[in-house]
Every structure is written in C-alpha cells, then in structure tokens.
Amino acid sequence: MENTKKILYSAVQPTNNLTIGNYLGAIKNWVNLQNEYDCFYAIANMHAITVRQNPAELRQKTLALLALYIACGVDPEKCTLYVQSHVPCHAELAWVLNTFTYVGEMERMTQFKDKSAKHADNINMGLMDYPVLMAADILLYQADVVPVGMDQRQHLEITRDIAQRFNNIYSPTFKVPEAVYQKVGAKINDLQDPVKKMSKSGENPNGAIFMTDDKDTIMRKFKRAVTDSDMQIKYDPENKPGVSNLLSIYSVFGNKTIAEAEKDFEGKGYGDFKLAVGETVANKLAPIQAEQAKLLADKAYLDEVLKNGAERAFKAARKTLSKVYKKIGFYQL
C-alpha cells in the first residue's frame, strides 16, 4: 500500500548542549508530528563544521543527540533517523543547487551576517553556503512541510525560491515545501536577557537551561531569572518579557494554556513563581536524562538505528538526485 502521508523534514546540529528552547521548538514537536507525517529527522553534522569543531566531541555529541531524540519519544520505527554525512546525496545536490543560487542572495542572509560577526576569524564559504545545503537537505526528500522557528524562515524562503527556479527551467522536479509554525513556546527566551532567544551558544550560561542540567543547576538558574519590579504575574511580552518568558516555559512544560498558568500564580510572589517553573522543568527533564544515559550505554543499538536510517534516507535521496542529474544532462550509468 502506498504511503499517503505528507513528508516532513527537520534537522538539528550536534553542537554544544541543546537547550529547553531547542527541545520545545523542535524535538518535542517532532514527537507529535511523527504520527501525522512521514518524517525524516537528521543530525546535521555537515552544517556543524561551518564553525570549527573538536572532532572527538563532534562524534560524541552526534550519538548523544540521537539518544536524546529517542529519549524524548522520537521513534525510529515511525520515522527516519539518520546522520546527514551518512547520505552523500546532501553534498551532491548542494553542489548542483549552488549553480541556481546567486551570491547576492547568500550575502543578504541574516544568519550569515550574524555568524560572520561572531566568527570573524573564520568566515568560510560553508558559512555563506549554509542555506544551499539546507535547501538540498529539504528538497532531496521531496518534503511537503518543514517545521521552522522564526529565525529559520529566511532559509526556507530561499529553499522555495531555488526549487521554483529549478522547476521553471527544467519542468517540475522538486516539491516546494511549506512551513509549519509552532504557536506556543516556539520561542523561549534567555533567562538573563529575556528579549533575546535562548541560545546554546549564549554568552551567559545562566541564561539557558540545558537538557543535561541537573535539578540543582536548573533551580539555581530559575531563581536568578530576570523578571521586573511590579510583582504581577501576567503574560505581557512587550512590557513584561521576563515574566512572560517564564509563563511560556511553565505552560509548555506543564501542558497548560497561558491563561491556566496565570491562574496558578494568582496572588503569588515572584519567588514562589520561579521555584514552581524550575520544579516543573526539572521534573520533566529527569526521566528524559535517565533514558538518554541508558541509550548511550547501548552503542550497538544506536549504531543499528543510524544504519537503518541511513539506508532509508539514501534510498529516498538517491531517487531525487537521479532525477535531478537526468534533468541537467549528467550522463549516468
């Protein structure tokens, strides 16, 4: 029987430790989406090397991220879990798509400008070409939808432009993907600077809650979280960014609406509020951390998951790449 589910593609880099923002913005959604779509979930190690990495750490973090995916509820039986570099078609299609992408488009990319400023000693072509590799990631699998945060919207737009450009020249080849946005808790902000997104590479480590943080660390960071001086616990991102950020975190980790979260803290002070948010997050992360540790102790199982995932991903990717090579006139055996 033919699979009638729409195809969904998403990927996360195995760099630094993931924050609860990465979890809520990506992996938690993946668990819900895997029943609705035919999902391809990648560990984007090719994207990771646009910034210098320690090779041993990159290998270790690749397995740790896979174990985290599974510990969070991503099921290798329901979706395709694989490492990007295990499927050479990503690099091969990226090269072809480079010839349909203009330098000016890449120079205008917000992330390229930001990362160039942050890594001024290593402004490499990979950093500029990042969105083309991302376009290849998505288009290889004929993805119908891509879950994106607001900061990745520009990359999906260029993917759509490249796909349409190729289709217009050679006849329909790629599906033009649509974005899926998560409404609640999609953007979790820094605890110390609540107008900025929580980042795994932020300057102040107290601003981010990492998926590997123990309960004491989590509680300490929430106690230090920036709020304001008017002592009212209500959701108002413009005037009360710190409190609103904590309410967002509490509501998503506690499976409540923002209104329910506000009601929980009626008449309470900021001290009790921060403790409750910390407890809710720590209680949710503890079983995930335990399961991740258990999975990391079984390397043979993780390797088997990646081997099966790479085979499935390669089969789908090769089909698209062969079609592309035929269209552009590459002689194939």
Q: What is residue 106's predicted lDDT score, i.e. its pLDDT? A: 80
Name the active-site residue from 28, 197, 240, 274.
Answer: 197
Do 130 and 141 touch, CB atoms closer than 8 A? no
Q: What is residue 1's predicted lDDT score, i.e. its pLDDT? A: 44
Residue 4 has pLDDT above 50, yes or no: yes
Q: What is residue 182's predicted lDDT score, i.e. its pLDDT? A: 64
Residue 27 has pLDDT above 90, yes or no: no
Do 234 and 262 touch, CB atoms closer than 8 A? yes
For the segment 131-153, the average pLDDT, to the nearest whole number, is 90
> For the ranges 39-48, 66-75, 196-205, 312-321, which has the lowest average pLDDT?
196-205
Q: Is 109 left (phi over 0), alpha (psi -120 to 50) or beta?
A: beta
Name the active-site residue from 6, 200, 223, 323.
Answer: 200
The larger pLDDT score, comparing residue 24 to residue 74, is at 74
The larger pLDDT score, comparing residue 129 to residue 123, is at 129
Residue 54 has pLDDT above 90, yes or no: yes
For the segment 106-125, the average pLDDT, to the nearest whole number, is 73
Residue 123 has pLDDT above 70, yes or no: yes
Query: Which residues face 218 on adjacent strands?
Result: none
b/e map of 284-308 (b: 16 or more CB within 10 Å)?
bbeebbebbeebbeeeeebeebbee
Domains and CATH numbers, the chain: 7-181+298-328 (3.40.50.620), 205-293 (1.10.240.10)
- When pLDDT is cut at 50, 70 and 90, the band that residue 320 belongs to is very high
Task: For residue 268, indicate whether it is catalytic.
Answer: no
In tens, the pLDDT along 148-166 reads 876 678 889 999 999 999 9
Distance, CA of 284 to CA of 254 (rounded, Å): 8
Name the active-site residue from 115, 175, 240, 274.
Answer: 115
In tens, the pLDDT along 207-248 reads 999 999 999 999 999 999 999 988 899 999 999 999 999 999
Backbone angles phi, psi at 3, to 5 degrees: -75, 120
pTM as predicted: 0.88
Q: What is residue 2's predicted lDDT score, i.e. its pLDDT? A: 53
Helix ranges (H only) for the chain are: 20-22, 28-33, 45-48, 55-71, 89-98, 103-107, 110-118, 125-140, 153-170, 215-223, 241-253, 258-264, 270-296, 299-328
Q: What is residue 150's predicted lDDT score, i.e. its pLDDT? A: 65
- Sign (positive or negative) of CA dihedral 128, 134, 137, 140: negative
For the segment 25-32, the average pLDDT, to the nearest whole number, is 86
Task: For residue 197, indicate whether it is catalytic.
Answer: yes
Q: What is the mean pLDDT of the chain?
A: 91
Task: For residue 240, indicate whether it is catalytic.
Answer: no
Query: Of the candidates 200, 126, 174, 167, which has an alpha carbon nearest to the alpha carbon of residue 9?
Result: 174
Q: What is the CA radius of gyration of the chain?
A: 21
Residue 265: how many CB atoms within 10 A of its CB? 20
Residue 183 has pLDDT above 60, yes or no: no
Helix ranges (H only) for 178-298 are: 215-223, 241-253, 258-264, 270-296
